[in-house]
Structure 1
Amino acid sequence: MTGLAPITFVEPRSYPSYAADAPALDSYGRRIDYLRVSLTDRCNMRCVYCMPAVGMKFLPRPELLTNEELVTVLRAAAAAGFRKIRLTGGEPMLRYEIVELVRAIKSIPGIEHIAMTTNALRLGKLAGPLKEAGLDRVNISIDSLDPQKFRQITRGGSLDDVWAGVRAADEVGLRPIKLNAVVVRGMNDDEVIRLAALTTEHPWEFRFIEVMPLTGVAGLAEEGVISTAELVARISAHFGPLEPYGQDPSDPARRYRIPGAPGKLGFISAVTDPFCATCNRMRLTAEGRLHLCLLRDDELDLRAAVRSGAGQDEIEQLIRHAVYVKPWGHGLPEGVLPTLRGMSQLGG
């Protein structure tokens, strides 16, 4: 097999058998060991690059994986070689019993690291309990340092609440803290220098992310993409030439540092400078579909497997099969756009 259309569960015996206790490799030899897990498609913001202003339909709760079902899937994923889990959404801290869920995931043999991408609106209260439960660190979205513009971009979010979350995360040790901004031309690109300057004051990593053409915001993406080359040129013109910083081959960010700064800069360019050759990740949607590539529609329905009574070994084989047929990369250069899901349904 060379690829998957969006498919549902079939009997595991109809799939090839993959060796247990071995790293999960795709057909291109990439080791896939990083799973981004969407806990909910709901969010307490409505960011313009993530959701349309109206028309969102959220999943009924019975369609979501229960915490018990999710832990079952993650035990199988760990057995298949996944080592790093990132909890995403929507907004992951809207998930019921989030602290207990983090504790349960941390106890799974083989899981070495749990991170979370959050808008931080609830992090001020939950940073301590989440750290105690086993959360290792957080990425926090902050697209503007101007409170009014922040409200406009997020359609109602409070910048003060986000900063309270950042401070709480720093105080309890959810480090290294990474801050994310989706940069859109004409929306917040005039703040690039101010955002980058945060790394001259704090030992944080600030990441600039290209807006991506997902369902509901494709028009914004087409008009608003700013390349990494342009961002680096702007920042260098202000601070001087940026210093390249050590690069993890599986990290999608190109990393630099402003000379003398305690923090770092990262640039994630899925559109203009894709990193498919070193991709090590897959995504699990809140309703239990294994999504093979962010910018493609290929999926495998694991919820159906769990609710059909499949055991951990069978689910592990399904996951290994999905890993093996993972596409090489997205189809944007050929004009292939994803149509099934928006960003809030995938967790980025």
Structure 2
Amino acid sequence: MRFMPRAQLLTLEELALVGQAFVELGVTKIRLTGGEPLVRKNILQLIQTLGNLAGLKELVLTTNGSQLPKMAQSLQAAGIKRINISLDSLKPDRFQELSRVDKLEVVLRGIEAAIQAGFQRIKINTVILKNRNHDEVIDLTQFAIQQGIDISFIEAMPIGIIGDHNRAETFYSNDQIRQDLKQAFTLIPTTETTGGPARYYQIIDTHTRVGFISPHSHNFCETCNRVRVTTEGRLLLCLGQENAVDLRRIIRAHPGEIEPLKQAIVKAIDMKPKGHDFNLERSTQILRHMNVTGG
């Protein structure tokens, strides 16, 4: 893996300025995601700064869990309210194959550390692939129930070029997952929302909710109000489109000035597309991978 040259990345101060600009424009929720945001040096400094923004109601984090054994308590103290942890398998060999790192035991310890830290809500994010890990749908859900946390199943998005499987052949819809879960659990639809695309069901007689994020089988573009700012300062108006605005150029042309940045954001939001154009039968249109998208 090659890391991006430091000069291409927004500094922590520049990232904080972006966060401030969005909050001053009315945004009430910020999520730090990746890649893996917790490997960024001095990330707690950024989290504390964002957590202190007047008007921000919720600061949340998505992580692969590898840094949580040593950072969970500090993250909670710094202002993180909710945390999502990626977990696609409970089998060590399969976990390594899917994630390309041999860290299942570390991630499981990270989940335990997050529980002990006392976040308002903890959720597992799981991507299910047919003939890869679809036989673990019930086991992963049972694990969430045992831990007293939530789980969301996310349909794989056709982002980035891959060579180890055919997306159309490995696609496993959330409708199929729901049918699998009904064999073992009773799911009750809820009206709960975290402001994102997930549709939640309560598992009866448990504290666990199951969420389904379905960009293919149940497109949610009409309700999407999310944008993403990458670590390079690219404002992505849709994960399923390549159109973006270079906020880094604006920030560095007007050091420390927030008004030009706010004006650029407002202008960009007017260009937010109506939706993505995902098609499993076509060649990949989005060449960037999620692990370099960040945000």
TM above 0.5: yes
| Aligned counterparts of 1:337 and 1:149: Cα–Cα separation in 2 | 25
Instruction: Specify the alignment match of 1:223 in structure 2.
Output: 169
Distance (whole Å) between structure 1 residues aligned to residue 28 and residue 277 of structure 2: 27
Q: Relative contact order (C-alpha < 8 Å, sep 6+): which is higher?
A: 1
Q: Which of residues 171, 176, 184 is equivalent to 2:121?
A: 176
2:110 and 2:7 map into 1 onto residues whose CA distance is 30
Aligned to 1:210: 155
SS of the residue 1:183 aligns to: coil
1:268 aligns with 2:176: no
Q: Which amino acid aligns with 2:239?
A: L
* Structure 2 counterpart of 1:232, one-letter code: R
Amino acid at match of 1:322: A
The count of aligned residue pairs is 292
User: Aligned-pair distance for 1:280?
Assistant: 1.5
Cα distance in 1 between the residues matched to 2:159 and 2:22 = 26
Partner of 2:275: 329
User: Contact 1:199 / 1:265 at 8 angstroms: preserved in 2?
Assistant: no
TM, length-normalised to structure 1? 0.79
Residue aligning to 1:254: 199
- Tell whether the 8 Å contact from 2:61 to 2:82 is kept in structure 1 after alignment: yes
The percentage of aligned residue pairs carrying the same residue is 38
- In structure 2, how many angstroms separate the alpha carbons of the residues matched to 1:105 and 1:77? 11
Contact (CA 8 Å) 1:201, 1:261: kept in 2 or not? no
Residues of 2 paired with 1:220 and 1:108: CA distance?
44
2:292 pairs with 1:342: no
Q: Show structure 1 runs of 4+ deviating over 3 A.
A: 217-220, 333-338
Q: Is the 8 A contact 1:213 1:222 kept in 2?
A: no
The answer to whether the 8 Å contact 1:295/1:337 transfers is no
Name the residue aligned to 1:10: none
1:76 to 8, 18, 21: 21
Give 2:62's aligned residue: 117
Which AA in structure 2 matches 1:116?
Answer: L
2:181 to 235, 239, 245: 235
CA–CA distance in structure 2, aligned partners of residues 301 and 59 of structure 1: 17
Is the 1:136–1:174 Cα contact (8 Å) retained in structure 2? yes
* Unmatched 5+ stretches in structure 2: none
Q: Decide whether the 8 Å contact of 1:84 with 1:114 is kept in 2.
A: yes
Per the alignment, residue 49 of structure 1 pairs with none
Structure 1: 5+ residue stretches without partners: 1-55
Offset of residue 289 of structure 1: 0.5
> Aligned pair in 2 of structure 1 residues 246, 61: CA closer, same or farther (>3 Å)?
same
Aligned pairs for 1:1-348 (under 5 A) are 57-217=2-162, 220-239=166-185, 241-248=186-193, 250-309=195-254, 311-332=257-278, 337-347=284-294
- CA 1:200 to 1:166, structure 2 compared with 1: closer, same or farther past 3 Å? closer
Deviations 1:76-118 (A, max 9, x none): 1111121111111211111010111111111222222111110
